[in-house]
Amino acid sequence: MTPSPLTAAHRHYQVVARAIDYIRSNARRQPTLAEVAATVHLSEQHLQRVFAEWAGISPKRFLQFLTKEHARLALRRSADLLSVSLESGLSGPGRLHDLMVSCEAMTPGEIKALGGGVTLGYGLGETPFGVALIGWSERGVCHLAFCDDSERRREAAFRALWPSAELRRDDTEAMRLCARIFAEQPESGKLHLLLRGTNYQIKVWEALLDIGPAQLVSYSQLAALIDTPGAQRAVGSAVAANAIAYLIPCHRIIRANGDSGDYHWGESRKLAIHAWEAGRRGVTPR
């Protein structure tokens, strides 16, 4: 049976993740393509092809996205774009991919009930960044977590978040949702998210949705977007509490000095997402 494009992208991500780990560990001496290829047990030509098929850009450009200098340039460009957006009364420059994402917050009573009286679907699906557990209700996607450690552990963590809900596993629907979320050409229509958090957390998450694909902003820039300048620590806490990976794009937040910063799902995956998004948006490093 011929593997699906999504399955191929998932396989290629395993190669990319190993390459990123090697590059990060040897960044000061700028390893050659031949060295990186040897580390992942591929020929240079094969590595070239894997990168191009997975990221949409060449290995050389991919490596540029992993450098602090590129991050600094991206922050400066984002600062200009965000200032224009704020001056024009807009919350931000874009929406996740070309999907129209709409959000609905749970009420305090619903949160207190811990899902009581609610039926949630969940399942495992392949993404370009590894297997993910995704959860949803009739009101929208409520959970997305990458399964690096253990699929069973991720399922247990999801159940712990919704102890009073009725959970029904459906891997077929999970795969359909993942294919839609990570499609190169997003289908028309809205993708609904169900947010569970404090008013401040939800405000931060909604601001994250207004950061365009392949754009990077700092914590202070994000704080300015929600009219709380100087609240970087509070913004960081809200970003860390995000339970819907990728769709609420906390991977687009980096430190003001250009470092990628912490990411719940691993720094290598965060850097890979940066390059993957940029390749699909036709962004070229300067």
| Catalytic residue annotation | 250
**Considering only CA atoms, which of 266, 279, 149, 142 is closest in space to residue 213?**
279
CB 55 within 8 Å of CB 275: yes
- Dig out the tokens for 269 from the structure: 């995956």
**Coil, strand or helix: which one is 127?**
strand
CA distance 2 to 110: 44
**Considering only CA atoms, which of 88, 62, 100 is closest in space to residue 192?**
100
CA distance 80 to 76: 7
- For residue 161, count other CB atoms closer than 10 A to its CB: 16
